[in-house]
Structure 1
Amino acid sequence: MSEILRHDVPASLVVFLVALPLSLGIAYACGAPLMAGLIAAIVGGVVAGVLGGAPMQVTGPAAGLVVVVAGLIDQFGWAMTCVITIGAGVLQIVFGLTRVARGALAVAPVVVHAMLAGIGVTIALQQLHVLLGGSPKTSAWQNIRTLPDDISALRWPELAIGVLVIAVLLLWPKLPPRLRVIPGPMVAIVAATVAALALHLSVQRVSLSGSLLDAIGLPALPATAPDGAPWRTEYGAIALGMLTVALIASVESLLSAVGVDKLHTGPRTDLDRELIGQGGANMVSGALGGLPVTGVIIRGSANVAAGAITRGSAILHGVWILLFAVVAPGLIELVPTAALAGLLIVIGMQLVKLAHMRLARRTGDFVVYLATMLGVVFLNLLEGVAIGLGISIALLLWRVMRAQMRVRPAGVGAADWEVELDGTLSFLSLPRLSKQLAEIPPDARVTLTMNADYIDHAISEAIADFKRAHEATGGTVMVIESTHAKLHHAHAAPPQRHFMSRALGFAPWRSWLPWEGYDGGSVLDGIGEYNQRAAAALHPLIRDPSAIKDPDALFLTCTDSRVMPNVITASGPGDLFTVRNVGNLVAVDDESLSAALDFAVRTLGVSSLVVCGHSSCGAMNELLSLSEDSGTPMSHWLAHGRDSLDAYRGGHPGQLDAAARGFAAPDQLGVVNVAVQVRRLRSHPLLAESVAQGRIEVLGVYFDVATAHVYEVDADGITEDRLPSPARSRAATEDR
């Protein structure tokens, strides 16, 4: 109890000061009795505070429902709007009991943000006329069209009061915290009221039309609707109104509850219970003649910031509003309506957040945001949200169903072509796929790699037709399917979506990171991807270190990141003992390499040593232009490659083999360098005896980055005796 007194009572007073002017302003914007706003604030605080599942959330009338409630009052009148509020509360309780609360969070956030922005723009357009001394019109277009008339006939006292409120609200957050003990809305309303009284300004003031007790109670329904039609002819529209209020109030309350949860470390929200609490509050509020209520992020965040620790603060804030409405209603009638208009303009514009616009633009959803906002402003809330959801669903389908395709020549020759298909492959992709496949020459050797999570019959048939037609013209097509979704599945059963497993270690970070140009913590992103998708698969292979064979080979290769020893040797844990240095050089005086050789031969007992070079090697480029040791660490290290450079310039067989394959000069040197390092490794003092006795074999290989093919290199140059060429590999695959 002492904790509640020490924390929740002061916090409840802060929330009371925030909620009082907001409740009056929202009721005024809806065109409802002003006491209806106070009744809603009281009921929201007490009933939702007791029954709800969000301990720190504060419930009351919300700006997000202004447009809907104003439309209901205009269509059905105030009495039937109260009945609609009761019906919406019943629906919310049903939502909570059926445990569908989390389903409301499935609404695209960009649609919710745009909906609130549209509501904010609508409120600001309406209240701008009040600020100028006029009256709001029934539609946004009329408010825009008649704005010049109200500007020409503006009333300076109302404008001055409204501008004062706006200025206070904008400047208040910039003051030091110790000066912001009282919330800005209360300060702004009190300052405007005092200024109007002190200057004896002739301004329109708030009219309560009776006390709180007079306002409580469901007004008697007239015999007919406002348009003179019997109520039974309006049942469909009334039901739609109940559903609309229930859905919007539920979504806003749940999103607000989730947002408030992020601001504190206390108990988390029970979303289903929160819906039941919100529904109970709406039933009571409607029955007593109050506005619909929702959880409100402004009040909830103020509650947390003020130090509340239990739901007692939200309940007490409703009690303080009740006492104020009973004891001091006369003070409310001193408030100028222009002051409430200024408050509502600021509230409305605060719903239009630049951060949400920037996020929508960055994530490619700006068209959804803009369409939803404009739909809410110029049509109505339901149609605007429907437009936004429709566009977002269409955009989602386009993104999900749009497969990634790449068709390009492979290597230096035009005879080999690569086709890469990634993602969801459906009939929607057929036009683009057909167009790209038509670019391939008739006699090309095609490697078609598929990494798909879904393949339908149309795609399967199109690829089969392409393969058949292409091979009929003298070309070849090799299909590689790297995921569980296979072409033949589409002919055997209805297509199903399969988990698309990207082979980790093949795709560079930039090809799969969240967005283009992403530059945040790539190593950590890669580790996270490994922990999430590959650690479980690797663990059974390495959990028992004693069960893993000792490495059978030492693999000496370059430091270039494109050389992946485990990938190009199809090896796994325990197969390779890998050593890297710049240019894959064997330096007898390199203690690091000597230690690795000693450990590999004497301790691990490896049976083979492999030197692996690669194309497009920066070290070979440097070595070609190296005239003398310039004193830099790089030039000093590359001096170990002078034998390779001399052999290359002397017409080494490896240089001739590489030149015959169309390799550029640095790549020719790379092949020669492997041959020279193989010869040097065979005569290394730590290996010479084992090599001579046949206990260790020294091999050379060369990885051509452009074609991803690995060649065998011996001391005399490239040999194809044991490694299949790309053509033979393709033929062997097709024979299988």
Structure 2
Amino acid sequence: MLQKHFGYYLRYLDHDIPAGLVVFLVAVPLCLGIALASGAPPMAGVVSGIVGGVVVSILSGSQLAVSGPAAGLTVIVAAAIEKLGGLEQLLVAVVLAGVLQLAMGYLKAGVIGAFFPSAVIKGMLAAIGLILIMKQLPHAVGYDAEAESDLSFVETDSSMSLQSIMDALGAVSPGAVLVSLGSLAIMILWESQIVKSRKRLALLPGPLVAVTFGVAYNFIASHLTPSLAIASQHIVNLPAIFGPIEFGRKLTFPDFGALANPSTYVTAATLALIASLETLLSLEAIDKLDPLKRTASTNQELKAQGVGNIVSGMLGGLPMTAVIVRASANIDAGAHTKVSSFVHGVLLLMSAMFLASVLNLIPLACLASILLLTGYKLAKPTLFKSVYEKGFDQFAPFVVTVVAILATDLLLGMAIGMAVGLFFVLRANYHEAITLTRDGNNYLLRLQKDVSFLNKALLRGYLARVEENGYLIVDGAKASFIDQDILETLQDFIKAAADSGITVELKNVRGLSLNGGGTAAQASSHGSGDESFSISH
């Protein structure tokens, strides 16, 4: 709340406090669910949400962004906990990631989001959605004895047999299935026009209604039909807490012995890059949704996220980003300033201190259903269709990114997707940098945009099409840069042109000479009417 006068925030309290309550109700199940998906204790998700609300909101460059644990980081966190040896080791990577983000903010790296092709970003989000679905299905059916936390669909153990599948089906909990299906139905209904058209119902967040349903179902089932009740191992298990002192005792702190492990630094760099990218993309979307059309400072947001991740890591929380789901709920609830995000953080803190026993009534199946729906939204079929309709140069990097992430891991998959995206960018520039048109025996060679050495082979191919006794105009008016290799290729052609009776005319091509080296080619105005040329491939 540093950017505006204090009175500015007081002016909108009647909007921001109710909005903060709504965001809190949305954030509780999401914080718990993301911790579940990450293979971390529920408290880690809650701590991250608290820090995102209480700390990051004050420093944020956005008035409407809401920060907390993000579904997009679950796959990285889950793998890191397993690879580094535990949550305490992961927390060191979270702190280092925050330091990197803070440095990026001071280095004005807020523009990095613009350097990632949108097709690759969409592929990353779609892959995360598919992984979320795969990882949450066991929790949704009450079978999580083998719920792994790796980053891919690839089976490292080929011993999966019909018998093991039957064993899994036999371990499914009917109560968990009923809660999952009921929760999904409620959330889908809450997003329909039926509920949205009823203002009072629409004020209640769908995830909160789903969680309330799950708690009520399990309470009734445990008293009336115990066989359909959900077992205790499939219920949220926050440590028993009452009051600030006890809350402080339950916090987890980083084990800085992990600094000796090189994987800690790789994890930190990965978290910093992906978290920053997700934050910047979310910020762009939030600015578009802002009714007041304010523009957030991306560099300031990176600094705020960096401080937030340092504090979260030091207190046992998960890494965080600005989260579009919570920000959208914030805006829909009528928030005007960052006071709403701050209020949501304070409410999360109060609930963790005094309402842990209530949160421990929530079935994991409820949280799994929330994340299943989140995964579907990230990877819904219409996304694949919309990217396909944009053309092969968009669809190929998108699909390659999805497949590569599923087959390897998030970082390597993104790198492969970037490589494919870069290939298509280079290919497009390769073909568009030089064009050749022909009318009879007259030729127009246009050098367009930046023409680099990568276009030398294309240029030679076009020059080879100029037939004997032809007339060639080389026009460089649209080229802002022409590489020396291109100039040399053209100069060599000019020198040899007289042997084939070819006349060359140069227009706006700096660094070339028609009579350098004694060539017989000479300037002429013949055939200079560009409009008469038709494309010839």
Please give the TM-score of this superposition, normalised by the length of structure 2.
0.82
Amino acid at match of 1:83: V
Match of residue 400 from structure 1? 429
- Pair 1:96 & 2:114 matched: no
- Whether the 8 Å contact between 2:283 and 2:296 is mirrored in structure 1 is yes
After superposition, residues 95-174 of structure 1 pair within 5 angstroms as 95-135=104-144, 136-139=147-150, 140-142=152-154, 149=165, 150-151=168-169, 154-174=172-192
Counterparts of residues 192-271 of structure 1 (less than 5 Å): 192-200=214-222, 201-203=228-230, 204-211=234-241, 213=247, 216-219=250-253, 221=255, 231=258, 233-234=260-261, 236-264=262-290, 265=292, 267-271=294-298
1:390 equivalent in alignment to 2:402: no
**Structure 2: distance between partners of 1:58 and 1:92:** 17
**Kept in 2: contact 1:60–1:294 (CA 8 A):** yes
Query: How far does the alpha carbon of each residue in 1:137-157 deviate from its partner, in whole angstroms, 9 at most, with x for none?
Result: 244325798697235754332
Paired amino acid for 1:358: S
Q: Are the aligned partners of 1:113 and 1:356 in contact in 2 as well (CA < 8 Å)? A: no
What is the distance in 2 between the residues matched to 1:485 and 1:147?
70
CA distance in structure 2 between the partners assigned to 1:51 and 1:400 by the alignment: 41
CA separation in 2, counterparts of 1:404 and 1:254?
Answer: 31
Q: Is the aligned partner of 1:284 residue 2:311?
A: yes
Give the counterpart of 2:485 among 452, 458, 473: 458
Is this contact kept in 2: 1:15–1:317, CA < 8 A? yes
Residue identity matched to 1:180: A
Count of matched residue positions in the alignment of Structure 1 and Structure 2: 484
Amino acid at match of 2:28: L
Residue 419 in structure 1 maps to residue 428 in structure 2: no
Q: Tell me the distance in 2 between the aligned counterparts of 1:222 and 1:86.
A: 10
Matched residue SS, 2:335: coil
- 1:67 positional shift: 0.9
Q: Secondary structure at the match of 2:191?
A: helix
Distance in 2 (CA, whole Å) between partners of 1:270 and 1:403 is 35
- What residue is the counterpart of 1:371 in the other structure? 400
Among 318, 332, 339, the alignment partner of 2:345 is 318
> What CA deviation, in whole Å up to 9, does each residue of 1:350-391 have, x standing for no partner?
122534762475163222212222222221111112112222
2:470 corresponds in structure 1 to: 444
Structure 1 residues 431 and 133, CA gap change in structure 2 (3 angstroms):
same
Cα-to-partner distance string for 1:673-705 (whole Å, 9 max, x where unaligned): xxxxxxxxxxxxxxxxxxxxxxxxxxxxxx997
Identify which of structures 1 and 2 has the higher relative contact order when contacts are C-alpha pairs closer than 8 Å and 6+ apart. 2
Does residue 185 in structure 1 map to residue 207 in structure 2? Answer: yes
Greater shift, 335-344 or 436-445, is seen at 436-445
Task: Give the aligned CA root-mean-square deviation in angstroms.
Answer: 3.1
Q: How does 1:310-709 map to 2 (within 5 A)?
A: 310-352=337-379, 354-355=382-383, 358-359=386-387, 361-362=389-390, 364-403=393-432, 405-407=434-436, 409-410=438-439, 414=440, 416-423=441-448, 424-451=450-477, 452-473=479-500, 475-481=501-507, 483=508, 485-488=510-513, 706=532
Shift of 1:9: 0.9
CA contact (8 A) 1:453 1:485 kept: no
Check 1:403–1:321 CA distance in 2 against 1; reply closer, same or farther (3 A cut).
closer
Instruction: Give a deviation string over 1:614-665, Cα, whole Å, max 9, x none.
Output: xxxxxxxxxxxxxxxxxxxxxxxxxxxxxxxxxxxxxxxxxxxxxxxxxxxx
Partner of 2:6: none
Q: Percent identity?
A: 31
For 1:478, what is the secondary structure of its paired residue?
strand
Quote how far apart the aligned CAs of 1:85 are: 1.6
For residues 570-618 of structure 1, give each alpha carbon's deviation from its aligned partner in whole angstroms, at most 9, with x where no partner exists.
9xxxxxxxxxxxxxxxxxxxxxxxxxxxxxxxxxxxxxxxxxxxxxxxx
- Give the one of 36, 42, 49 matched to 2:57: 49
CA distance in 1, matches of 2:434, 2:55: 57
CA distance in 2, matches of 1:707, 1:400: 22
Larger radius of gyration: 1
In 2, the alpha carbon distance for the partners of 1:436 and 1:152 equals 68
> Structure 2: which amino acid aligns with 1:173?
E
Shift of 1:176: 3.6
458-467 or 90-99, larger mean C-alpha shift? 458-467
Q: Rate the CA distance shift 1:277–1:169 in 2: closer, same or farther, 3 A.
A: same
| Alignment-mate amino acid for residue 203 of structure 2 | V
Match of 1:14 among 15, 22, 25: 22
Do 2:54 and 2:342's aligned partners in 1 also have CA atoms closer than 8 Å?
Answer: yes
Residues 403/109 of structure 1: CA separation in 2 closer, same or farther (3 Å cut): closer
Question: 2-side partners of 1:445 and 1:315: how far apart?
Answer: 72
Deviations 1:109-137 (A, max 9, x none): 33222222211111111111222332222
In the TM superposition, residue 11 of structure 1 has moved relative to its aligned partner by: 0.5
**Is contact 1:105-1:254 (8 Å) kept?**
no
Q: Distance in 1 between matches of 2:17 and 2:332?
A: 13
The Cα offsets for residues 452-507 of structure 1, whole Å up to 9 and x where unpaired, read as 3333333333333334434213x2323232x4655359x9xxxxxxxxxxxxxxxx
SS at match of 1:141: coil
Shift, 1:215, TM fit = 6.1
> Which deviates the most, 161-170 or 310-319?
161-170
1:100 partner SS: coil
Identify the residue that residue 39 of structure 1 maps to in structure 2: 47
Q: SS at the partner of 1:199? A: helix
Task: Quote the Cα distance in structure 1 between the aligned partners of 2:417 and 2:434.
Answer: 29
What's the counterpart of residue 650 of structure 1? Answer: none
Structure 2 residue 31 is matched with structure 1 residue 23: yes
Give 2:333's aligned residue: 306
> In terms of mean alpha carbon deviation, does 244-253 or 51-60 score higher?
244-253
